Every structure is written in structure tokens, then in C-alpha cells.
Amino acid sequence: MNPLPGFRDFYPDDCAKRNHILDHWKRTATRYGFSEYDGPNLESVDVYKKKSGGELLGQLFDFIDKGDRHVALRPEMTPTLARMIVARERDFKKPMKWFCAPTFFRYEKQQRGRLREFLQLNCDIIGDPSDFADAELLALAIDVLRDLGLSSSDFVVRLSDREAWTNFAARHAITGERFSAFLALIDKLERMTPADAESKLQPFGVTLDAVRSFIANPGDAAPRLDAILKNLAARGLGDFVSVDLTIVRGLAYYTGMVFEVFDRAKNERALAGGGRYDTLIETMSDGRIRLPALGFGMGDVVLGNLIQETPAAREKRDDWLSQAASLDAFIIIAAPERTAEALATVQKLRDSGLRVDYGAPGEKVGKQFQAAEHKRSVHAIVIGSEFPSLKVKHLASRTEREATPDTLLSALQCTSI
Ligand code: HAM
């Protein structure tokens, strides 16, 4: 039997690749001073109903539980994060920089880069209205990818500002509900034929030409973006970003700066997306708490594809994988009557924190050496009839030295140099 469509089994090799991504996500978020948090896998559907909006509501994995509650597996983190902040807002010093990297569920059509269960790194800054925070978040998104061995020739952050579209819409008297519908249309414009786009824009009283020339030349409609770009340039990250007003984001709660990250070759769906949602916490708290916020989500699926297809990133990953899978020592039991001494040695080395495995007593020594190589062990330790005299072999250099149980730990350090 196979797993359900859009769900994955993680055999050890797949798990190692997943850990590689998780490890780098967490490492970079921590380097930026973010603290890890988490929430429940299951929420009341109400949490998403008003807050997420857009296509996401049609993609909920929802059901009625045994207590007659309408619940959904989490399709995204942001409404949960807002709910958690509303519950304990006073307990945290602002601004808060929080991250998590759990599993999410969306009933999407299965396609390249999109599954029904996926991991998503979420990084959010709460309580900072400045464009400094906008740039800090973008720098983090960029550095997560740089840390994985991806460069500015592999991906680009397409940066935009919903404020620019608010100004444009105000000039064309598109307000309220119509504005949300207008934004949803701009979000899809790139994927439409010109004739289709023209006819969909008509009810809003704007032409495709007007929209296109605004995108090509927004003038001073988005002044905040200049400050963000300057900030990123000062960090040496200017090459990773380009302003692109076609990005408005599909989710309903965004208010200002928004962005999506794409591979330069345009072979993949979005790698990450996010932006400001300055009013979500206010809505969630029925007006009680006003806290500006911003964040992004980055999935593991497109990212895994891009790493696989980018030689520098793939090589870096493979080094990480072989390091993660390796052993410090593999004990070769060359004389079965010394099995007890071999086990004592295994235990002693494991107690000292080393990664250690051992061969089957009675198996040919050559076979045991093969097992040591297969397990990518740095050393092989041969325990034979000469015990307590042992042989320590450094497998890569083929160098060998004698040791005893007492001198073994220092012998392992010497031969590995
Ligand atoms: P989103 O654009 O819906 O934003 O998702 C962000 C990223 O999650 C996508 O760019 C993609 O990498 C990944 N992703 C989304 N759906 C799938 C899927 N079905 N399969 C695989 N990967 C997927 C959000 O979720 C916002 N809550 C992000 C955010 C955090 N905004 C503020 N803070």
C-alpha cells in the first residue's frame, strides 16, 4: 500500500535530507536571534475562516471531531501565531522574533513543488513597525538560502508593497470588498492571457495597459521599498532582491510590504512568501491589541528540488549528509572469544560521546571492514586475541597505530588528525 496522494514516507535517506533542511533553517533563524515556538496541529476552523482567506479555505483538511467541533489540520501558522500572541501578549517583550518549522496540511492538487503534507519554516517579527524590521526579515530569508549553498544566481526575492496598490486603487475608486477582489486579480494576472486579463479588469474601470504601466513604473507609490533596498544593499545582499509589483500574495491578511522568493530559472513554484500583516492581531483580538507584525513561510518541497538541481548546494548537502551519517569508530571483533572485551570497549566509547557500531562476532574480518567502510566510519578498531593490545586504523588515510583500552581515546584523536 502506498501513502495517500501528496503524503510522503521518509526512509532513512529521506529523513536525513529532511534533517539537513531543518538543521539549516533552525541554525540560521537562531543566528538572527529568533526563538523557537510551536502550536497545535489541529485548530478550530474558525481560526482560518476569517483570517487566511483566499484559496486556502478551499484547501483545508477539515472534519467534525467526536465532540462535534469543526476542526482543521493546520494549513499555515500565521493565524495560530496571532491567536497565541493575543492570549499572552503582555508576557513578551517587543519586538518578538519567533520561528517554527513544523508540518502543515493543504488539500492541494498534487504537483511539482506542492504536496498535501509539507514542512514550512515560519519566521515572524511582532511589534516592530519599521522598515528596518522588513529588511531584517528579508535578510533572514536570503541567508537561510545562502546557508544552504544557494546564491543570487539561483534565486531572487520579488519584493512588492500592497500600499502601492492601495494608492493605485484609490485613484481608480476601487475600495472595500472590491479592493480585495482587485488584489486577487492582480495576484493571478501573470498566469492569464491578455484578453482574459482585460475582460476581468473591466468591471474595475481599469485597462491592462494602465496596470502594466503602473507595474513598470510605479513612481513614488512605494517609498518604503527604497529604504528596504538600501538596508539590504548595506548588508551586501542587494543582488538578491528585485522590486516587482505583480506580487500581491494570495492570503487576505497582508497589509504592506509583501514578497515571494523564486528560483531564477523559473522552473519551480514559489520557494517562500510573506509580508506585513499589521492588522491581523487587532482583528484576532476584536480590536483589543494593536501590534504590527510581519513574517514569511518557506516550504521544504521546492527547496529540496532546488538543492537537488543546483550543483554547489547539492555538493554542500551531500557533505553534510555523509558527515551526519558517519561513525567515529567501528569495532572489528577479530577473535570471537574477545566479544566481552569488545562490548566493554564499545560501551566505553559510546559513554564518552562517540558514535560507535561493531561487527558481528565470528564474521570474517574482511567483511567487518567492509561494514565499517559502508557505515562511513572514520576509524576501525581491531580487537583480537592480542587484547588488551588493539589496532586503530584511520580508514581514509589507511594509517594504523597500536593502543590499549586506556590509551584508546587519545589514539583515536591522534590518528584522525
Ligand atoms: P504561503 O505563500 O501560503 O504563505 O506559503 C509559503 C511557502 O510554503 C510557499 O512559498 C511554499 O514554499 C510552501 N508551501 C505552501 N503550500 C505548499 C504545499 N502545498 N506543498 C509544499 N509547500 C507548500 C503562508 O503560508 C504564510 N502563512 C507565510 C507567512 C508567515 N506570512 C507571514 N508569516
Q: β-pairing, 70-73 with 96-100?
A: unpaired
Whether 164 shows a pLDDT value over 50: the answer reads yes
Q: Which atom of ligand 1 is nearest to the CA of 122?
A: 30
Residue-wise pLDDT for 216-249, tens only, equals 988 888 889 999 999 999 999 999 999 999 999 8
What's the whole-number average pLDDT of the chain?
94
Range with the poorest average pLDDT among 46-60, 63-77, 296-310: 46-60
pLDDT at residue 392 tops 70? yes
pLDDT of residue 218: 84
CA of 45 to the centre of ligand 1 (A): 18
Residue partners of 245: CB distance under 8 A and separation at least 6 = 160, 161, 164, 165, 214, 215, 218, 222
Ligand 1 lined by 81 (C-beta under 6 Å): no
Ligand 1 centroid to Cα of residue 114, in Å, is: 10
Does residue 263 have a pLDDT over 60?
yes
The pLDDT tens digits for 394-409 are 999 999 999 999 999 9
Question: Measured between alpha carbons, how far is 169 from 163 in angstroms, rounded to an integer?
Answer: 10
pLDDT at 415: 61
pLDDT tens, 91-129?
999 999 999 999 999 999 888 999 999 999 999 999 999
Q: What is the pLDDT of residues 123-155, one digit of tens each?
A: 999 999 999 999 999 999 999 999 999 999 999
Residue 10, pLDDT above cutoff 60:
yes
Nearest residue (by CA) to ligand 1, atom 29, is 296
Name the residue of 18, 37, 76, 296 to mutate for ligand 1: max ligand atoms within 8 A of Cβ: 76
Question: According to the model, what pLDDT value does residue 49 have?
Answer: 86
Residue nearest atom 12 of ligand 1, based on CA coordinates: 299
Closest CA to 132 of 36, 235, 31, 30: 235
pLDDT for 110? 84
* Banded model confidence at residue 252, pLDDT cuts 50, 70, 90: confident
159 alpha carbon – ligand 1 mean position (Å): 16
pLDDT tens per residue, range 19-46:
999 999 999 999 999 999 999 999 999 9
Q: Is 270 in the pocket of ligand 1 (CB under 6 A)?
A: yes
Percent of the chain predicted with pLDDT > 90? 88
**295 CB within 6 A, ligand 1:** yes
- What are the strands of the beta sheet with 42-44, ordered from one edge? 42-44, 70-73, 61-64
- Give the residue among 36, 216, 43 at the shortest CA–CA distance from 121: 36
Q: Which atom of ligand 1 is nearest to the CA of 303?
A: 12
Is pLDDT above 60 for 416? no
Question: Quick one: pLDDT at residue 417?
Answer: 45
